[in-house]
Amino acid sequence: MSRTPASPVARSDLRGRTALVTGASDGVGVEIARGLAAAGADLVLPVRNRAKGERAIESIRATVPGARVSLRDLDLARLETVRALADELRAERGPLDILVLNAGIVLLGDPERHVSVDGFELHFQTNFLGHFALTTALLPLLEERRARVAVQLSLAAGVSRVLWDDLQSERHYRPLRAYGASKVALGLFGYELARRSRARGSDVTVGFSHPGVVPGTAIAPAMRARGGNSAGRALSERLGGTPAQAAQCALLAATAPAEEAPSFFGPSGVFHFGGPAAPQRPYRRLADPADCARLWGLAERLLGERIGTTAP
């Protein structure tokens, strides 16, 4: 089925630039990658499932013939793969102009607390800590190219908070709370990355987005298997957006002029569930300097304990 590439980068010329998009094997992620490819960017797509990745490339090339795509291996829930990808890209010393932190999991409907092979709660590692490890490891490449880091948040980040005394929901687990906290953590990281980049005189800039509500994806599989709340499902289907529409927000975060960053984009429709991408008011709790610095320090400590390294 033919699909039109998302539009916000239509005015951008990304020829000669390279964009890495996490979570681009399906859903909103593949539409972000499609939009970047349509603007001329070379793509690096690190995926957990190679077969899905190949299908995503076929889909992108069906609408963007000749798209240049490099498929790589990455499972954010396995820090060894994060480290391997970062080592590989640094050894190649290829360009990296845009980094889109889009991958994520939502385990709504599953009451069991899941833990990664590295010992972290699965939302916490997949949505936040893995992205933290990847981004900080790639900072030398990003700084060389005056790169943009686009941070994909969610509506949940606007109403959630990090529970500092139960960071990984060890004492009390609820999937929505764990998911929301992981997205808040990702946002705090993004703001601290922007602050540190300015302080170092780095030209790395940061943009933020959220996709609204996107019924046409495979998120929250346990809840979908049960059928979920019928009234809520009908509301989200009526007011939400398609993956291609939702991708527009991240595309703006990735390509808006640097003087507008840190910027925040989301759907402009009712409840911000769907509608055209537009600037949004940033979530206030994500910009607290003390929380941003505290979260960064915790992430460094946790990574140091697991893999013996710290972020720049």
Whether 299 and 307 have beta carbons less than 8 Å apart is answered as: no
Reference 33, options 65, 16, 56; nearest CA is 56
SS3 percent helix, strand, coil of the chain, rounded to 5, is 50, 10, 40
- 4 pLDDT higher than 90: no
Dump pLDDT digits (tens) for 65-79.
999 999 999 999 999
- 250 pLDDT higher than 90: yes
Phi, psi of 260, deg, nearest 5: -90, -5
Half-sphere exposure of 239 (CA within 13 A, CB side): 15
Strand partners, 18: 42
- 165 pLDDT higher than 90: yes
Dump pLDDT digits (tens) for 135-150.
999 999 999 999 999 9
Dump pLDDT digits (tens) for 18-51.
999 999 999 999 999 999 999 999 999 999 999 9
Strands 263-267 and 277-279: antiparallel
* pLDDT-based confidence at residue 60 (cuts at 50, 70, 90): very high
Q: Give the residue-averaged pLDDT of 101-123.
A: 96
Mean per-residue pLDDT over the chain, rounded: 89
Q: Which residue has the higher pLDDT, 83 or 260?
A: 83
Report the distance separating Cα 42 and Cα 227, nearest Å.
39
Q: 237: which 2 tokens?
A: 């289907």
pLDDT value at residue 106 = 94
- 130 pLDDT higher than 50: yes
pLDDT value at residue 262 = 77
Candidate ranges 109-113, 283-287, 292-296; pick with highest mean pLDDT: 292-296
Give kind and range of the element (H or E) at residue 292. Answer: helix 289-307
Residues 6+ apart with CB under 8 A from 36: 9, 14, 19, 21, 43, 98, 100, 251, 254
pLDDT value at residue 260 = 55
Whether 307 and 83 have beta carbons less than 8 Å apart is answered as: yes
pLDDT value at residue 1 = 40
Q: Is 179 a catalytic residue?
A: yes
* Catalytic hit among 173, 179, 191, 283: 179
- 80 pLDDT higher than 50: yes
Q: Which residue has the higher pLDDT, 287 or 283?
A: 283
Classify 227 in phi/psi space as left (phi over 0), alpha (psi -120 to 50) or beta: left
Distance set, CA 302 to CA 84, 111, 178 (Å): 18, 25, 17
Report the distance separating Cα 59 and Cα 139, nearest Å.
30
Q: Give the residue-averaged pLDDT of 85-102.
A: 96
